[in-house]
Amino acid sequence: MELPNQKEQFSIAYVRAIVSVAGFVISRQEVDEDSVDLTLSARGVSGTYRSPKLDIQLKCTARDLIHDDHLHFPLPRKNYDELRGDRFLVPRVLVVVTVPEALDDWLAQSEEELILRRCGYWMSLRDAPETANTETVTVYVPRPNLFTAPVLKNIMQMIADGGRP
């Protein structure tokens, strides 16, 4: 039986693994009141700006939400509104980690490898429109937007160069 915090903890472990391989630092917000769960920092990345940061709203699901070319994820309206727009000092993205339905299938381990099953997808809601929805807003996360160490490095370089994901 899955406990309420297991998805949250697994998704944090997934992001921590990616951040570690990318060579960056992760910090966790004590209170998620502004739809920011984690902040990633990239010391030593050179560009227009030094030490870029990225804020992440992290979600995890075992539901089968993958369609042809998108993950159709029902995001709470509060999170949707707090991730929209571009008037943030630190850019924000949504990361949705998918896991198998059965808890025992989330992870495999041997002396040779540790496998975290399924993956994470990311997207920016910077240009997302306002909505009349009151409960949730279905966001369409592109399947090619895998959250990987090389992708994270590219995002951080983009931020260092003055861009926004």
Domains and CATH numbers, the chain: 6-160 (3.40.1350.10)
CB 64 within 8 A of CB 98: no
Residue 1 pLDDT: 61
| pLDDT of amino acid 31 | 81
Whether the Cβ atoms of residue 83 and residue 94 lie closer than 8 Å to each other = yes
Q: How far apart are CA 25 and CA 46, in angstroms?
A: 16
Contacts of 132 (CB under 8 A, 6+ apart): none
pLDDT of residue 45: 84
Q: What pTM value is reported for the model? A: 0.94
**In the structure, what pLDDT confidence band is assigned to residue 2 with cuts at 50, 70 and 90?**
low
Query: Per DSSP, what are the bridge partners of residue 98?
Result: 61
Residue 4, pLDDT > 80, answer no
Percent of the chain with pLDDT strictly greater than 70: 98
Q: Which amino acid is at 156?
A: M
> Alpha-carbon distance 60 to 34, whole Å?
18
In DSSP terms, 26 is beta-bridged to 40
pLDDT per position as a tens digit, 101-123: 999 999 999 999 999 999 999 99
Residue 33's pLDDT band, with cuts at 50, 70 and 90, is: confident
pLDDT confidence of 29, banded at 50, 70, 90?
Answer: confident
Q: How confident is the model at residue 12 (pLDDT cuts 50, 70, 90)?
A: very high
Length of the chain measured in residues = 165
**Residue whose C-alpha is closest to residue 158's, from 121, 120, 119, 124:** 124
Work out whether strand 107-109 and strand 136-142 pair parallel, antiparallel, or are unpaired.
unpaired
Q: Which two tokens stand for residue 112?
A: 């040779």
Torsion of CA 78, 84, 89, 94, to 10 degrees: 80
Q: What is the mean pLDDT of residues 60-86?
A: 95
Q: How high is the mean pLDDT of the chain?
A: 94
Where do we find the tokens 């496998």?
A: 115
